[in-house]
Amino acid sequence: MEIISRQGDPELAEVFVARFRGNDRFLVEFVDARDPDVPAHEKWVVIVSTQFGCPVACAMCDAGGEYHGGLSAEEILSQVEHVVSRSSADRLASVLKFKVQFARMGEPALNPAVLDALRLLPGRFNAPGLIPCVATVAPSSAAPWFEELLSIRRNVYGGRPFQLQLSINSTDDAARDRLMPVPKMSLRELGAYAIRFSGHGPRKVSLNFAMARGMAIDPGVVARHFDPASACVKITPLNPTIRSAEQGLKSGLEACIPEDVDEIMREFGRLGFDVILSIGDARENSIGSNCGMAVRKIKGEVR
């Protein structure tokens, strides 16, 4: 792995672009991030890529488009190793939460090597605070991958925290297909899986909604398919990306929360769901930390 760029703010997020296999087709991004509201010794976040580009090509994500296959488990872990190597071993051993998010370029469930990386992760890093986090649109072709993930969650991580984030984005099937153009597991299937997954550890499965204007979010539909004991709701803005602009998508969350967002959150609460509203830090957009942007910049598509 060869680091070819680094940008950002060490107080918030630094985005690396790395070249693998000595070839510009194999560029990925990864991120060394911290939560500015939480002391550095409490939380450290590394966000890694799992594919060279992404075959899904979601309407709001710059990682899609070009796709050149999956990273190997060692290539995935080398991103974590690079971030960790920049700090003392003491930091890794003492940080309360060391989150490794499989959430940058690529759909993790479409790369079997992600499962190997998850198996190797706890033995590779002396990080008692390790929390793996997998973010997925849950392609229906990956059903066997999800069964194996469940087995790893149970047999490798036991009762330790393990975060699964399901990108739901809308409760309307047509809107989901427009935003995430790949055959996906249905909400009913995901609800059943969330119960099985959360039964093996302390964390609820997170149902992520990147709110886009005009894309329905109906808490009643969520409640029909998901059990609030096994799933929580996370609402974020739709990040400004080149692709979302091309697709005419606008965030449904502005600086001040519109009343309908407030009402959606109250309704989720009434139905028993924990709801997290995560606006993020506006600086993240200005440093280009949204998925796929840094690689596009290197390739000259952003000036």
When the beta carbons of 137 and 238 are compared against ligand SF4, the nearer one is 137
Number of amino acids touching ligand SF4 (CB under 6 A): 12
Choose among 146, 16, 10, 162: nearest CA to 98: 162
Residue 181: CB minimum distance to ligand SF4, A: 9
Contacts to ligand SF4 from residues 119-138, by CB under 6 A: 137
End-to-end CA separation in angstroms for the chain: 25
Strand 2-9 to 13-19 pairing = antiparallel
Interaction of residue 295 with ligand SF4, rule CB under 6 A: no
Among 279, 112, 278, 136, smallest CA distance to 205 is for 136
Q: Which is nearer to ligand SF4, 87 or 140 (CB)?
A: 140
- Degrees to nearest 5, angle at CA 285 with 244 and 11: 155
Q: Which is nearer to ligand SF4, 233 or 293 (CB)?
A: 293
113 binds ligand SF4 (CB under 6 A): no
**Minimum separation from the CB atom of position 59 to ligand SF4 (A):** 9
Residue 64 as a binder of ligand SF4 (CB under 6 A): the answer is: yes
CB of 286 to ligand SF4, least distance (A): 20
The CA distance from 154 to 197, in Å, is 9
Span near ligand SF4 by CB under 6 A; candidates 7-15, 51-59, 122-130, 200-208: 51-59
Question: Among 8, 106, 132, 288, which residue sits at the site for ligand SF4 (rule: CB under 6 A)?
Answer: 106
CA distances from 40 to 10, 36, 95, 279 (A): 11, 8, 8, 20
Q: Among the candidate windows 14-22, 60-68, 76-84, 218-226, which touches ligand SF4 by CB under 6 A?
A: 60-68
Q: Does 29 bind ligand SF4 (CB under 6 A)?
A: no
Choose between 70 and 252: whose C-beta lies nearer to ligand SF4: 70
Least distance from ligand SF4 to the Cβ atom of residue 57, Å? 5
Shortest Cβ distance from residue 60 to ligand SF4 (Å)?
Answer: 7
238 contact partners, CB below 8 Å, separation of at least 6: 60, 210, 211, 212, 244, 249, 250, 251, 252, 253
Residues comprising the chain, all counted: 303
Name beta bridge partners: 131.
Answer: 99
Please tell me whether residue 294 binds ligand SF4 under the rule CB under 6 A: no
Report if residue 61 touches ligand SF4, rule: CB under 6 A.
Answer: yes
Please identify, using beta-carbon distances, which residue of 32 and 62 lies nearer to ligand SF4. 62
Which amino acid is located at 98 in the chain? F
User: Which residue among 31, 46, 47, 63 contacts ligand SF4 (CB under 6 A)?
Assistant: 63
- The residue type of 166 is L
- Candidates 2-10, 21-29, 55-63, 78-86; binding stretch for ligand SF4 (CB under 6 A): 55-63
Instruction: Report d(CA 60, CA 244) in Å as an integer.
Output: 4
Strands, sheet with 2-9, edge to edge from the N-terminal-most edge strand:
2-9, 13-19, 27-33, 43-48, 97-102, 130-136, 163-167, 205-211, 231-237, 275-277
Enumerate binding residues for ligand SF4 (CB under 6 A).
54, 56-58, 61, 63-64, 105-107, 137, 291
